[in-house]
Amino acid sequence: MVNPKNPEGGREFVQIVNISGQTASLSGWQVVAPNGTTFELADIQIAPGDIFKFIIPGNGGILRNKAGTIKLRTPEGVIAQNCQYTTEQGRQEGIAILF
């Protein structure tokens, strides 16, 4: 959610879905925001089909409300996923952007 409905109380977040058939560890994985800010994920285990919701720390504004790319980086530094969104998508309050 790059543009929460209530900017004062709403929190930006990224959801990671395990689409594999095995439990996945997020230890050492990183979420890279459009402005280059990097967040290392904790040692969380995600069962097959489960969703992990990572709330972006801070007061918001890390995920731009205009076009941007959110990246998911492996512990080895490889970009596993690039999730791009448009300015139109980023301006919609309270709407999840699916990739």
- Spans of all domains in the chain: 13-91
Q: Render each residue's pLDDT in the chain as its tens digit; 99 residues.
A: 777 776 555 688 889 999 999 999 999 999 999 999 999 999 999 999 999 999 888 766 788 788 899 999 999 999 999 999 989 888 888 888 776
Spatial neighbors of 5 by CB under 8 A, at least 6 apart, are 93, 94
DSSP code at position 34 = T
Tell me what pLDDT residue 11 has.
Answer: 83
**C-alpha angle 37/40/42, rounded to 5°?**
150
pLDDT of residue 99: 62
pLDDT at 3: 74
Nearest to 10 by CA among 47, 58, 44: 58
Is-contact 4 44, C-beta < 8 A? no
Alpha-carbon distance of 7 to 47, in angstroms, equals: 31
